[in-house]
Chains A and B, each alone.
Chain A
Amino acid sequence: MLPDPALPPTSEAQPPNFDGWTCPLPLRDYPTIVMGHGGGGQLSGELIEHLFVPAFSNPLLEGLTDSAVVTLGGARLAFSTDSFVVQPLFFPGGSIGDLAVNGTVNDLAMSGAQPAYLSCGFILEEGVELSVVGRIAKDLGTAAERAGVTIATGDTKVVDTGHGDGVYINTAGIGLVREGVDIRPQRAVPGDVVIVSGMIGVHGIAIMSVREGISFGTEVTSDCAPLNGLVDAMLDATLDLHVLRDPTRGGVATSLNEIAKTAGVGVELVERDLPIPETVANACAFLGLDPLYVANEGKLLAIVAPEDADQVLAAIRAHPLGADAAIIGECVEAHPGMVVTKTTFGATRVVDTPIGEQLPRIC
């Protein structure tokens, strides 16, 4: 058949490539915000990528890191913010107050910064007992002292009954980045080693146990903790840490997927090397969840050059928060942007980013 002269010639040299394709319509599936947009998975990523980043467009945001590193008056500062809407407000091992401090402290620490000052904004619902707010404020103070940061400024707003969930908190923070430190996801390269600083899935299961009305024979408490001291110890071992990330919402799987995509490397995990407490494994089996997707609040993932791995691992293990640290995998050239795991039986499984929140399976 002759080509129709009215149509432009079709390009034969370039087959369609869907890999780099981004949807022209932001948030194609939902016209309204759904819970999954806050779940840390694909929906969260699309909201940021398609709606926020274009609106704010500047080069600092394009790294999509937990905290931005800016230069101000000659100093390299890490700058970050995080909001906390957890239910229940108090859970085994901590409260929303502990999370509000440690969450932002950890976001700063993941840029290799020493966190210094925090702001704290409260959104309180009419009718919340003062004693509850008091307990939370006390937890904030104690957590700040433990992390070695100062809460330097704050704000309080009250909303009508039914317009909030008791207490919401936002914190922002700044910290100084050491000379010679360059930690960001783009620095992960094939051959790098992936280290986790301890047992995974503990925080999410502690929260879930309250929500689902399950209890534990042995106590499972949140691992909520400030990681800046641990990062300091690691930087003393080597300044050349490539990537740090605290695997909070969406767990280890989501964090590693983000790093793999940003850096354009593949990640290969070894399932039997993953440090998972037996109780967490059992609770996950029972609730139909995968520990790789369960939130952590006091653990970090470190990606380092293979020659530095032993030294960094030793430094983590010597720290009180890192006794159970382990090497769990490596970055590879194959399947860039994807995370796979070698199962205990020697097979390979893709560890994908969840679309929204992880949901319990019934079958």
Chain B
Amino acid sequence: MKYLAEFSDPDLAKKLVDQIHATVTKPWAMMEVCGGQTHTIVRHGIDQLLPDGVEMIHGPGCPVCVTPLEIIDKALEIASQPGVIFCSFGDMLRVPGSGRDLFRIKSEGGDVRVVYSPLDALKIAKDNPDKQVVFFGIGFETTAPPNAMTVYQAKRLGLPNFSLLVSHVRVPPAIAAIMQSPDCRVQAFLAAGHVCSVMGISEYPELAAKYKVPIVVTGFEPLDILAGILRTVTQLERGEYVVENAYRRAVRDEGNPAAKEMLADVFETTDRAWRGIGMIPQSGWRLSPRYREYDAEYRFQVRDIATEESTICRSGEVLQGQIKPHECEAFGTLCTPRNPLGATMVSSEGACAAYYLYRRLQTPAPETASKTASKASEAVSSVG
């Protein structure tokens, strides 16, 4: 693929890594916001190449993982109704709600289908006029325009049997929430490149100024990540905190005007709970009143389903780098990759899941456990 191999070149990566080592004089903790970036970091082991003391805190940027339990329970309820075809992105199927997941619903006779694109769900609705077709619309600002298009088209083409179960989340309010937390250790952010491809960068200068944190818009290939880290540590070492765009080939200052226009028409901002983290004000999108008839929560009367999240899970603190995964009481006992309680255990790249896997790779002696543990979340990688 064009610019895929070029931005994965090991020789250029080495130059960037060397430059990072030459730049860093102090320990720094920075957060990559997007799950796609976390994937690249663990897939290539980039965190292991950084100077000691430079810590990557994996952010809450996996949309599947942060989708609140309550919405998943609503999805499970809708998907198990007869006459419903429930369409979802593939990795959502394995995320458990209260005791069940979509795989289970499928095994009990529910018509649950994995789609690659939201338009596939729209096509299923066209082809099955006698069925109710529901698409599980999750994701950040990147996935929101494609999902918005389905509702826009359903209205335009007159597809009364299509609806959207919406749980969209937005990056800037999450950054603000992380910085407002009293024990926050995050000193800089690698902002999510493709979110900025859509939204532009206008929301970030205010955040950088208010919380005095460098924010570097960063892409997804290994060289992009390393360049983002280099520009971040350069700012940190100089005591600067500005917004930089290290992903110019895909991010323009203004974003994508056509997509933003569609978002403004189809969605409106709302408070949203994040799994394992809690409510973040104005951090979500829901369908605007103009499209309410396509809102699956109204159509299937699941609005009164309310689920309390586990109070034991401390993934919010893990996400902010305040505690290490093993310091959570539920870690490895009540909470495992097979039965996750929070976002950081749901994703195979989440800090807790990665740490869980690492324990098997190298079981530390008990007296050095906590020392090793602190290294673990930096050094561990897993894909699976």
A→B interface (CB under 8 Å): 15, 29-30, 32-36, 212, 253, 272, 282, 285-288, 290, 293, 335, 337-338, 340, 343-356, 359-363
| B64 neighbours in A (Cβ, 8 Å) | 362-363
* Of A30, A285, A345, A353, most B-chain CB atoms within 10 Å: A345
Please report the C-alpha to C-alpha distance between residue A35 and residue B39 in the assembled complex, in whole angstroms.
25
**B43 proximal to A (CB < 8 A):** yes
| B17 neighbours in A (Cβ, 8 Å) | 345
- Chain B nearest Cβ from A41, distance in angstroms: 9
* 12 A–B pairs (Cβ distance < 8 Å), ordered by A: A212-B116, A290-B383, A337-B360, A343-B45, A347-B44, A349-B383, A350-B380, A350-B382, A350-B384, A352-B383, A362-B90, A363-B36
The answer on a CB contact under 8 Å between A362 and B361 is no
**B127 proximal to A (CB < 8 A):** no
The answer on a CB contact under 8 Å between B48 and A347 is yes
4 more A-B residue pairs beyond the given contacts A34-B107, A355-B94, with a C-beta to C-beta distance below 8 A: A34-B106, A335-B361, A350-B357, A356-B103
**B89 proximal to A (CB < 8 A):** yes
Asked, given contacts A33-B107, A340-B361, whether A350 binds B139 with beta carbons under 8 Å apart, the answer is no
> Across the two chains, which residue of chain A brings its CB closest to B143?
A362
The answer on a CB contact under 8 Å between B93 and A359 is yes
Asked, given contacts A34-B103, A350-B361, whether A359 binds B94 with beta carbons under 8 Å apart, the answer is yes
Asked, given contacts A34-B106, A355-B337, A362-B139, whether A350 binds B91 with beta carbons under 8 Å apart, the answer is no
The answer on a CB contact under 8 Å between B48 and A351 is no
* Closest 10 pairs (CB-CB, A-B): A347-B45, A352-B384, A359-B90, A363-B35, A349-B381, A347-B48, A360-B90, A34-B103, A362-B89, A34-B107
| B383 neighbours in A (Cβ, 8 Å) | 290, 349-352
| B299 neighbours in A (Cβ, 8 Å) | none
> Across the two chains, which residue of chain A brings its CB closest to B354?
A350
Asked, given contacts A282-B4, A363-B34, whether A348 binds B103 with beta carbons under 8 Å apart, the answer is no
The answer on a CB contact under 8 Å between A348 and B48 is yes
Asked, given contacts A347-B45, A349-B382, A359-B91, whether A285 binds B61 with beta carbons under 8 Å apart, the answer is no
The answer on a CB contact under 8 Å between A349 and B49 is no
The answer on a CB contact under 8 Å between A362 and B357 is no
B10 partner, pick from A335, A340, A345, A351, beta carbons under 8 A = A345
Please, what's the 1-or-0 string for B293-315, where 1 marks a CB less than 8 Å from any CB in chain A?
Answer: 00000000000000000000000
| A290 neighbours in B (Cβ, 8 Å) | 383
The answer on a CB contact under 8 Å between B357 and A363 is no
Please report the C-alpha to C-alpha distance between residue A288 and residue B117 in the assembled complex, in whole angstroms.
13
Please report the C-alpha to C-alpha distance between residue A272 and residue B90 in the assembled complex, in whole angstroms.
28
In chain B, positions 326-376 with a C-beta closer than 8 Å to chain A are 337-339, 348, 357-358, 360-362, 366
B116 partner, pick from A34, A287, A355, A356, beta carbons under 8 A = A287
| A293 neighbours in B (Cβ, 8 Å) | 384
**B8 proximal to A (CB < 8 A):** yes
Number of interface residues of B (CB under 8 A): 54
The answer on a CB contact under 8 Å between A362 and B104 is no
The answer on a CB contact under 8 Å between B103 and A338 is no
| B107 neighbours in A (Cβ, 8 Å) | 30, 32-35
B→A interface (CB under 8 Å): 1, 4, 8, 10, 13-14, 17, 34-36, 39, 42-49, 61-64, 89-91, 93-94, 103-104, 106-108, 114, 116, 139-140, 143, 222, 337-339, 348, 357-358, 360-362, 366, 380-384
| B382 neighbours in A (Cβ, 8 Å) | 349-350, 352
Asked, given contacts A282-B1, A345-B49, A347-B44, whether A355 binds B63 with beta carbons under 8 Å apart, the answer is no
A348 partner, pick from B338, B348, B381, beta carbons under 8 A = B381
| B36 neighbours in A (Cβ, 8 Å) | 363
- Chain B nearest Cβ from A279, distance in angstroms: 10
The answer on a CB contact under 8 Å between A253 and B361 is no
Please report the C-alpha to C-alpha distance between residue A276 and residue B114 in the assembled complex, in whole angstroms.
26
| A30 neighbours in B (Cβ, 8 Å) | 103-104, 107
| A338 neighbours in B (Cβ, 8 Å) | 360-361
The answer on a CB contact under 8 Å between B104 and A32 is yes
Asked, given contacts A35-B106, A343-B44, A347-B45, whether A363 binds B139 with beta carbons under 8 Å apart, the answer is yes
The answer on a CB contact under 8 Å between A32 and B90 is no
| B348 neighbours in A (Cβ, 8 Å) | 352
| B46 neighbours in A (Cβ, 8 Å) | 345, 347
- Chain B nearest Cβ from A270, distance in angstroms: 13
| A349 neighbours in B (Cβ, 8 Å) | 42-45, 381-383
Please report the C-alpha to C-alpha distance between residue A352 and residue B384 in the assembled complex, in whole angstroms.
5
Please report the C-alpha to C-alpha distance between residue A282 and residue B140 in the assembled complex, in whole angstroms.
24
The answer on a CB contact under 8 Å between A35 and B103 is yes
| A34 neighbours in B (Cβ, 8 Å) | 103-104, 106-107
Please report the C-alpha to C-alpha distance between residue A98 and residue B222 in the assembled complex, in whole angstroms.
40
| B116 neighbours in A (Cβ, 8 Å) | 212, 287, 360
The answer on a CB contact under 8 Å between A359 and B114 is yes
| A335 neighbours in B (Cβ, 8 Å) | 360-362
> Across the two chains, which residue of chain B brings its CB closest to A287?
B116
A354 partner, pick from B48, B49, B366, B384, beta carbons under 8 A = B384
The answer on a CB contact under 8 Å between A344 and B361 is no
- Chain B nearest Cβ from A296, distance in angstroms: 18
Please report the C-alpha to C-alpha distance between residue A249 and residue B9 in the assembled complex, in whole angstroms.
31
- Chain B nearest Cβ from A356, distance in angstroms: 7
- Chain B nearest Cβ from A340, distance in angstroms: 7
- Chain A nearest Cβ from B135, distance in angstroms: 13
| B35 neighbours in A (Cβ, 8 Å) | 361, 363
Asked, given contacts A29-B338, A32-B104, A350-B358, whether A361 binds B39 with beta carbons under 8 Å apart, the answer is yes
The answer on a CB contact under 8 Å between B8 and A352 is no
Please report the C-alpha to C-alpha distance between residue A330 and residue B109 in the assembled complex, in whole angstroms.
44
| B34 neighbours in A (Cβ, 8 Å) | 363
Please report the C-alpha to C-alpha distance between residue A356 and residue B43 in the assembled complex, in whole angstroms.
20
- Chain B nearest Cβ from A108, distance in angstroms: 30
- Chain A nearest Cβ from B62, distance in angstroms: 5
> Across the two chains, which residue of chain B brings its CB closest to A30?
B104
The answer on a CB contact under 8 Å between B114 and A32 is no
| B108 neighbours in A (Cβ, 8 Å) | 32
| B49 neighbours in A (Cβ, 8 Å) | 345-347
The answer on a CB contact under 8 Å between B94 and A363 is no
The answer on a CB contact under 8 Å between B1 and A285 is yes
| B90 neighbours in A (Cβ, 8 Å) | 288, 359-362
Asked, given contacts A285-B1, A348-B48, A350-B358, whether A362 binds B103 with beta carbons under 8 Å apart, the answer is no
Please report the C-alpha to C-alpha distance between residue A355 and residue B106 in the assembled complex, in whole angstroms.
17
* Of B39, B44, B46, B366, most A-chain CB atoms within 10 Å: B44
Please report the C-alpha to C-alpha distance between residue A346 and residue B10 in the assembled complex, in whole angstroms.
9
- Chain A nearest Cβ from B173, distance in angstroms: 18
- Chain B nearest Cβ from A46, distance in angstroms: 10
The answer on a CB contact under 8 Å between A362 and B91 is yes
| B45 neighbours in A (Cβ, 8 Å) | 343, 345-349
| A29 neighbours in B (Cβ, 8 Å) | 338-339
